[in-house]
Structures are given as C-alpha cells and as structure tokens.
Structure 1
Amino acid sequence: MAKSEKVQVAGNNLVCPVCGYDEFWKRETLMNTAGATFLGFDWANQAAQNYICDKCGYVYWFLEK
C-alpha cells in the first residue's frame, strides 16, 4: 500500500470532508469512455488523480484541465 501524506491542491491543504483527517495516499484512475473502450483504446482516455483518506477511505477526484 502507498504511504499516506499531507497534500496541497491549488495552494490549499486537503482535509477529508467526512472525518477531518489530513493524510491521503494517491493513485491515478482512467476516465474511461464508452467509445474508446468499444474500440479497444482505453489507454487513450484521460487520467484523474485520486487522493484517498487514510482514515476513512473517502476519495477525492481531480482532473487536469
């Protein structure tokens, strides 16, 4: 499992809205679309950065513009 850490997004400290904890571990998740999946191009989908609360499991999703 990844090591949890404090995270800043856009200059703000990330805090879990459910339990108030301030340490998260991160992962990347593909934002699959039906068309790309149908054609076998899942790898071409955009990826979102996820931060998961290390205490309760709440997941933040951030998609780069």
Structure 2
Amino acid sequence: MGLFSADEPKRYEIGDKQLICMFCSNNTFHTRNEQLHSPVRTFLNLEWTDSTATCFVCSSCGYLHWFMR
C-alpha cells in the first residue's frame, strides 16, 4: 500500500465531527498529503509553491476526502 501512510487505518475527527465516508459510511481512513497544482505555477515550473491538502482515503472503498486548513 505504498501510496498511503504505512499505519493501519484510523478514525479521525474534523473539527468536532467524526469523519464518515460519504460513499460507503465506513469510519476508518488512511492519510496522505497532496499538492494542489495551479496551471500558471505548473507552466512556470513552480509547483513546489502550491498549497497542500490532507487526503483521507477510505479504507473500505477508496473514496478520497480532501481537506485544507
């Protein structure tokens, strides 16, 4: 499972709400960080300056839930 965190899937809270998969209602997730690329920064080869988001990947169905702070 090299694309995800090496840890076992876990339960997470976002704010004060438990994260539940929008697709299958599962409540455990793997996490990963992803960069959010913009066309202009990609054209200028400056992707490294783009923001990042935390992705929670459902351990049951694989649905991606993206969050930025």
TM-score scaled by length of structure 1: 0.91
Where structure 2 has 5 or more consecutive residues not aligned to the other structure, the ranges are none
Match of 1:46 in 2: 51
The match for 2:29 among 24, 27, 43 is 24
Task: Calculate the aligned-residue CA RMSD, in Å.
Answer: 0.9
Structure 1, unaligned stretches of length 5 or more?
A: none
Matched, 1:57 2:62: yes
Instruction: List per-residue Cα deviations over 1:22-48 (Å, max 9, x = no partner).
Output: 000011111100111111110100001
Which deviations, in whole Å up to 9, do the C-alpha atoms of 1:1-40 show, x marking residues without a partner?
A: 3321001100110011211110000111111001111111
Give, in whole Å, the separation in 2 of the partners of 1:12 and 1:27.
20
Identity value in percent:
27
Asked if 1:34 is matched to 2:55, the reply is: no
What is the aligned residue count? 64
